[in-house]
Amino acid sequence: MSTIATCGICQGVLELRFAGSGQPPLPGDFAPTCHRPRAYGDLYRCRECATVQQPSLPDGVDLVDLYREMGDSDYLAEERGRRLTANWLLDLVERRRAPARMLEIGCGHGLLLDEARRRGWETRGLELSERSALHGRERLGLDIREEPFEALGNEENGCWDAVLLIDVLEHLDHPRDAIERATKLLAPGGVLCIVTPDPASLTARIAGPRWWGLLPAHTYLIARRTLRELLIGQGLILSDDVPLVRSFSARYWVEGFAGIAGPAAAAVRRAAAKLPPQRSLALSLGDERVMLAVNEQVREPEARLARERGGPDEVHVVLPAYHAAQTIERVAADLPIESFDRALLVDDASGDDTVAVALAEGFEVLRHPANRGYGANQKSCYTRAILDGADVVVMVHADHQYDAALVTEMVRPIIEGRADVVMGSRLLEDRAIAGGMPRWKWIGNRALTWTENQAFTKDFSEYHTGYRAFSTEFLRSIPFLRNSDGFVFDQEIFAQIVDRNARVVELPIPTRYFLEASSVSFRASVRYGLETLTVLARYRVDEKRRRWSLLRRPAVDLQPTAQSAPNSEPVP
């Protein structure tokens, strides 16, 4: 494979993935219904973030001009199915935001906006194609403006309750900038909806160079993990990540499959011609993702538990929480408030009074709009701490399973410059069983720890503790936002710690198991163990191949925002 230039998403090295046709693009190539196989230019894949890109495409004004001239006479032949798909998407959006103000970037003929208006949304669209925009304005009476995304002024910031980029991100010459701009447009609680092909999907890998997503008009195809990283890195909360379900006529679907059928293409097209045109089919190929990210606000308590100390190192305590209403008060009472500057609790859509109790105890609170998992909670914790200016972040579980009084000891090695990461170990001075740990968990913990030490060539006493402290400088150096949303996040970040040769200090901590402490079932523990073994296997393979995206450079450079507490609101 040859290499050229660098990735436009993460600045990583590009490798030729598929050789192209060598023909320059024409306006007709940019039509939504253009799916000519292998008509693209040379396609390159980034070693670091797995983004597939077509650097030969024009950019700037030249790209805009191609879209202005583009027409698509076949687009409305599937109008019924496209409207059904639009309503499926609107159902998702309205789970997170009631109808208010909606902006769709690249709205095409305006079919989705027309459906949204019927559901009570106040709509506006941006569309470069003159013919498509004209249809939306004259036939549907929509507010559609022929101007690029970049033309929106700062007066639009914070004004939109929903911003949609449906099949748009892959066409842009600067998709990272587009995500940042769309985020600024969101009102508090607003929803950003992105639909885009996933080049890392199983379907894309099986189809290879004939995959429908490899089109002459697609500039960037961003892998699912990387897109999640870009969204969360803006401070948004990812609420939904699901495969897109499209509705088309059965004939349209079968004709589409003919494009990848090779020698059987002619037979497939003959079969498609025999299907009744009115028969529709809703289908997901699993290679297009719908991601919804919410501009959730940090809720401010009437009186904060901690106050900024004004020292050289800002320390933030973060608490991932789920159904922790009964234990938060005890955690707050144990915390040494003289040792940190801010305390944030992230609630993973609990069904109890976790949020109310946390606010009453003085915690700032960020609430997930949907339950996303333990790993997703940690991503929100660390991202928010970094954006809010933390130098050191320490995770304390809200279920009181770990001794919050040890925060001072946990952060000291980092503040003194002796460590990048501090781990509170229940097995360093092993009294875990005496502290209530079930014997089967102790055996599993010991066995996995031994296995991980062999794989990582380390000698840590425990890998499965939830009491951890990090320097934010270290967190910014790893792509932790690509990690799993589940419990195996902890082992993936350990792989990143080892890969970066981070300095780790272990401290002995007591073990607490009691009724209110959260604990996973035997079945979940088995699954976690198997996922941990998968992490170890990926790590060992990557030592030779260097292609695991979790051990490459991050695509997002997380930096403190201009204000110390962005996206915050007082307790109502």
For the stretch 315-338, pLDDT in tens is 999 999 999 999 999 999 999 999
Question: Is position 465 within any domain?
Answer: yes
Residues 97 and 9 grouped into a single domain? no
The mean-pLDDT minimum among 11-25, 246-260, 440-454, 489-503 falls in 246-260
Can you give the CATH number for the domain in which 502 is found? 3.90.550.10
Residues 188 and 316 grouped into a single domain? no
Strand residues in 433-563 grouped as ranges (E)? 468-471, 504-508
- Residue where a domain stops, chosen among 294, 318, 349: 294
Give pLDDT, residue 564. Answer: 44
Residues 50 and 98 grouped into a single domain? no
Residues 166 and 223 grouped into a single domain? yes
Alpha-carbon Rg for the chain in angstroms: 25
Residue 526 φ/ψ, nearest 5 degrees: -65, -45
Domain count across the chain: 3
How far apart are the C-alpha atoms of 51 and 223, rounded to whole Å? 5
Give pLDDT, residue 111. Answer: 97
Question: Is position 64 within any domain?
Answer: no
Q: What is the pLDDT of residues 162-217, one digit of tens each?
A: 999 999 999 999 999 999 999 999 999 999 999 999 999 999 999 999 898 999 88
Residues 260 and 312 grouped into a single domain? no
Question: Is position 70 within any domain?
Answer: no
pLDDT band, very low/low/confident/very high, at 268 (cuts 50, 70, 90): low
Question: Is position 407 within any domain?
Answer: yes
Best CA proximity match to 482, nearest among 404, 375, 363: 375
Confidence check: pLDDT of 383 > 60 = yes
Question: Is position 300 within any domain?
Answer: no
Give pLDDT, residue 433. Answer: 54
Q: What is the pLDDT of residues 408-419, one digit of tens each?
A: 999 999 999 999
* Average pLDDT estimate for 353-361: 97
Bridge partners (DSSP) of residue 468 are 395, 423
For the beta carbon of residue 537, count every other beta carbon within 10 angstroms. Answer: 11
Question: Is position 7 within any domain?
Answer: yes
Give pLDDT, residue 261. Answer: 63
Residue with tokens 């990557």: 542
* Average pLDDT estimate for 209-233: 94
Question: Is position 468 within any domain?
Answer: yes
Confidence check: pLDDT of 237 > 70 = yes
Give pLDDT, residue 14. Answer: 93
Residues 28 and 119 grouped into a single domain? no
User: In the chain, what is the straight-line distance between the N-terminal and C-terminal CA atoms, in Å?
Assistant: 58
Q: Are 483 and 400 spatial neighbours (Cβ–Cβ below 8 Å)? A: no
How far apart are the C-alpha atoms of 372 and 466, rounded to whole Å? 18
Best CA proximity match to 103, nearest among 113, 90, 111: 113
Q: Are 66 and 58 spatial neighbours (Cβ–Cβ below 8 Å)? A: yes
The mean-pLDDT minimum among 136-145, 211-220, 253-262, 281-290 falls in 253-262
Opening angle at CA 538, ends 537 and 540, nearest 5: 65
Question: Is position 22 within any domain?
Answer: yes
Residues 314 and 287 grouped into a single domain? no
Residues 166 and 251 grouped into a single domain? yes
Q: What is the pLDDT of residues 454-511, one digit of tens each?
A: 999 999 999 988 899 999 999 999 999 999 999 999 999 999 999 999 999 999 998 7
Q: Pick 61 or 175 by higher pLDDT.
A: 175
The helix/strand count (H/E) of the chain reads as 17, 23
Give pLDDT, residue 97. Answer: 96
**Helix, strand, coil tally for the chain in percent (to 5):** 40, 20, 40
Q: Pick 565 or 87 by higher pLDDT.
A: 87
How far apart are the C-alpha atoms of 292 and 556, rounded to whole Å? 19
Give pLDDT, residue 562. Answer: 59
- Residue where a domain stops, chosen among 244, 272, 294: 294
Q: What is the pLDDT of residues 547-559, one digit of tens each?
A: 899 999 999 999 9
Residues 268 and 371 grouped into a single domain? no
Residues 340 and 272 grouped into a single domain? no
Alpha-carbon separation of residue 176 from 61, 224, 236, 417, 481 (angstroms): 18, 14, 14, 34, 15
Can you give the CATH number for the domain in which 140 is found? 3.40.50.150
Bridge partners (DSSP) of residue 317 are 343, 394
Q: Are 465 and 421 spatial neighbours (Cβ–Cβ below 8 Å)? A: no
Q: What range does the domain containing 313 cover?
A: 305-555
How far apart are the C-alpha atoms of 134 and 166, rounded to whole Å? 19
* DSSP element (H, E) containing 63: helix 60-69
Confidence check: pLDDT of 152 > 50 = yes
The pTM is what? 0.91
Q: What tokens were used for 372?
A: 């996303």
Opening angle at CA 407, ends 376 and 354, nearest 5: 45
How far apart are the C-alpha atoms of 409 and 390, rounded to whole Å? 17
The mean-pLDDT minimum among 159-168, 260-269, 369-378 falls in 260-269
Residues 389 and 536 grouped into a single domain? yes
Residues 279 and 380 grouped into a single domain? no
